[in-house]
Structure 1
Amino acid sequence: MGTLASLHTEVVRVAVSEELAYWTVLAGPTLRVIDDIDGHLRHLRFGRAYAEGTTKTYAGHLGRLHSWSDKRGLSRSEAAHQLATYVMQLRTSVRESSGRGYGRPPQDSTLVPILAAVHGFYLYLADLGLVEHDVLAALFTTVPSPSGGRGVVLQPRIRVDGRPSHASAKPPAATRTEFASVLRAADTARDRCMVAIMACCALRVGQLVSLMREDVHLVPPGVTVPGCTYRHGPHLHLRKRGGHPKGAANKNRDTVIVPAPSPVEMLYADWMRERVSIPHAAASPWAFVTFPGPTGDPGGDALSARRVQDLIADLAARAGLRHLHPHMFRHLVGETAADLDVARDVLQSLFGHRDINSQDVYRTVAESKVVVAATSIADHLFGTP
């Protein structure tokens, strides 16, 4: 197995205003903007209203495709005809950056978003007439519309199955023991507070790092904050907004209010006391910021989602656990809610889902509880009336 060799590329953030930004790709010895990729990413962000973080992810995928094709002297059309070769290269290239999968080839679930970015890019090029007509035929085939109508839809010729490959076919969740171990392994008030919020409030990592201090209302029941009518005690406002310097985003379409249980309230107070010692932190609007760095960085900057992902992985390793990532705490909330018989509409509100069925991927009942239910039913059926 080798690594995917590439020319030098960089993914950079382009701020259009305080609230709007997108990510693009620079490449080559002079780090020039790759015009067609840049146009596609601008179209996604401002033409189709994709999240800023999505353009960052797509920029990384398309930057690697550009490096691969440029190294081989391939035009966009020629690269499309050799997409199977590119996918084979991806499958046999080990991950060199830290995190889950380090030193191993990617799983199919990793290849799914890569192919989605590539296929979307070529559809954009074809729509503008920037590639030959035979490119779409090389990448896509037509199949009957799944809605049963008379129309047809494009289906990629190269596809992978990104569903879980483990026997249970269930997304992995952290256990309560793992949550407690990670919490104990954290040696700063900030890290303990972030772990607690992700677990107790079911926050996605993007919601956590894009949380602002003004979004945290730790007030007693019956007390309101100016501009907020919520009267049920400490809570967080998860607002959809742009402008995060590291491209983090809240996926919710609307503002979601999440209760903050007392452990979160106490740990956040500890973090506020710790935060006072960080230079420049007082001027930052973000709820969680960086610590001073070993190279003299004063700290106080916004955290990136990747930094939190690495932090959770490091804490899990320190505690002697398997690799953990932040979203596994959200799955833990779903499993715990199922064990406690939390109503589906209540969990829908906690998770901020528009569709009540969206929670199903998180909500898994413990096998031991299924055994208890089966025994209870049998006792009812065979017991004395």
Structure 2
Amino acid sequence: MDDDIARHLVHLEVERRLAPRTLAIYRDAFERLRAFTEKHAVPLREVQVHHVRRWAAQLHAQGLAPRSIALVLSAWRGLYRWLGRDALVALNPVEGVRAPKAAKPLPKALPVDQAMALADHHAPPEEAGDARLDARDHCIVELLYGCGLRVGELTGLDVGASAQAAGWIDAADASAHVLGKGSKRRSVPVGAAALSALRRWLELRGEIAQPGEPALFVSQRGTRLTASQLRSRLKRRAIQAGLPTHVHPHMLRHSFASHLLQSSGDLRAVQELLGHADISTTQVYTRLDFGHLSKVYDAAHPRARRK
């Protein structure tokens, strides 16, 4: 390995005390750099910006993921910054070079039948444990899937409206009032199934909640349910319902948006219900079920019909 690279690795290990796993990533990145410089007969200290851009493009063409390329470039950038401090290079050829943009992964949504199975699930007595917690968890699923709430919005709900409440549900008006991202308030409708589950939970909540606890959803200790506790209970409930995939709270929000958009086609309304500031954030749900859209096209468009 090049002497400059070897000395820099010692610096990273001894002075910066990087973990062995991190050092291995850096070592791999520098091995790639050494291979490029040898192949193109470019001394390490004479590498220019156009070299780095070309090599990053080659890494991409070889199938290296954008995030992995970003790690490689970060390691190279640090090396040349370190060489620059000793005036061994005139400029850092990696400054300003960026990795290709990573494709945004599609949000994972449940199929309608699985979402319904989870919402309708009632654990048998031998699995349910405390019936009060089962009623609470059923209400949570109904609100996550039926209203598209974020986990923080749901755990922030209080029993009633007050000046201190981050959010609450108005059963008489069938609406939930929540505090979303950026401290923006929004109201969403609450369906009949969620209201029914809410009434059942409220009948039992007083047996668990600590005196004076304002939270709508409480843990076994009677205090406000945390996001991690909610995730754990939802995972358990999904297993009980026989779902073949790991379920997390945001997956139910994705399912709410995807299923609503498939049925209505009203992107602007879904944006409002989700509380997205930019409609481009909501547009990702239009890509979730291209197969569904293809079937609609094949069945409805005159040019798609085959004799």
Q: Same fold (TM over 0.5)?
A: yes
- Structure 1 residue 185: Cα displacement: 4.2
Residue 362 (1) aligns with residue 285 (2): yes
Distance 1:204 1:81, change over 3 A: same
1:285 to 214, 217, 220: 214
Residue 236 (1) aligns with residue 182 (2): no
Gaps of 5+ in 1: 1-71, 89-107, 120-125, 127-132, 145-154, 165-169, 221-232, 240-249, 292-298
Measured in 1, the distance between the counterparts of 2:84 and 2:190 equals 50
Please provide the CA RMSD for this pair: 4.0
Kindly tell me the number of residue pairs found equivalent between the two proteins.
228
Conserved 8 A contact 1:252-1:352: no
- Structure 1 residue 374: Cα displacement: 2.5
Measured in 2, the distance between the counterparts of 1:191 and 1:87 equals 46
Measured in 2, the distance between the counterparts of 1:135 and 1:212 equals 57
1:143 to 93, 96, 103: 96
**After superposition, what is the alpha-carbon deviation per residue over 1:205-243, rounded to whole angstroms, capped at 9, x for unaligned?**
1221122223323244xxxxxxxxxxxx2211212xxxx
Conserved 8 A contact 2:158-2:215: yes
Measured in 1, the distance between the counterparts of 2:84 and 2:273 equals 43
Conserved 8 A contact 2:213-2:223: yes
Measured in 2, the distance between the counterparts of 1:315 and 1:87 equals 42
Measured in 1, the distance between the counterparts of 2:226 and 2:298 equals 46
- Structure 1 residue 178: Cα displacement: 1.8
2:271 to 329, 336, 348: 348
The aligned residue for residue 232 of structure 2 is 310
Q: What percentage of aligned pairs have identical amino acids?
A: 23
Please state whether the residue corresponding to 1:238 is helix, strand or coil. Answer: strand
1:300-339 pair list within 5 angstroms:
300-321=222-243, 322-339=245-262
TM-score when scaled to structure 2? Answer: 0.61
Distance 1:87 1:275, change over 3 A: farther
Residue 216 (1) aligns with residue 168 (2): yes
Instruction: Read off the aligned partner of 2:225 and give its amino acid letter.
Output: L
Measured in 1, the distance between the counterparts of 2:140 and 2:84 equals 46
Distance 1:85 1:234, change over 3 A: same
- Structure 1 residue 173: Cα displacement: 0.8
Distance 1:368 1:287, change over 3 A: same
Gaps of 5+ in 2: 1-11, 28-63, 86-92, 129-133, 162-166
1:182 to 93, 112, 118: 118
Measured in 2, the distance between the counterparts of 1:254 and 1:284 equals 24
1:267 to 197, 207, 218: 197
The aligned residue for residue 130 of structure 1 is none
1:190-205 pair list within 5 angstroms:
190-205=136-151
- Structure 1 residue 136: Cα displacement: 11
- Structure 1 residue 361: Cα displacement: 2.4
The aligned residue for residue 375 of structure 1 is 299
TM-score when scaled to structure 1? Answer: 0.50
Instruction: Read off the aligned partner of 1:300 and give its amino acid letter.
Output: G
| More helix, by proportion | 2
Distance 1:318 1:256, change over 3 A: same
Conserved 8 A contact 2:298-2:304: no
Distance 1:355 1:162, change over 3 A: closer
Please state whether the residue corresponding to 2:176 is helix, strand or coil. Answer: strand
- Structure 1 residue 194: Cα displacement: 0.3
Measured in 2, the distance between the counterparts of 1:86 and 1:339 equals 43
Distance 1:371 1:381, change over 3 A: closer
Measured in 1, the distance between the counterparts of 2:21 and 2:235 equals 36
Measured in 1, the distance between the counterparts of 2:265 and 2:296 equals 17
| More strand, by proportion | 1
Please state whether the residue corresponding to 1:237 is helix, strand or coil. Answer: strand
- Structure 1 residue 257: Cα displacement: 1.2
Instruction: Read off the aligned partner of 1:210 and give its amino acid letter.
Output: G
**After superposition, what is the alpha-carbon deviation per residue over 1:120-177, rounded to whole angstroms, capped at 9, x for unaligned?**
xxxxxx9xxxxxx63999xx94226xxxxxxxxxx58xx995854xxxxx33211222
Please state whether the residue corresponding to 1:143 is helix, strand or coil. Answer: coil
Instruction: Read off the aligned partner of 2:156 and give its amino acid letter.
Output: S
- Structure 1 residue 75: Cα displacement: 4.6
Conserved 8 A contact 1:182-1:315: yes
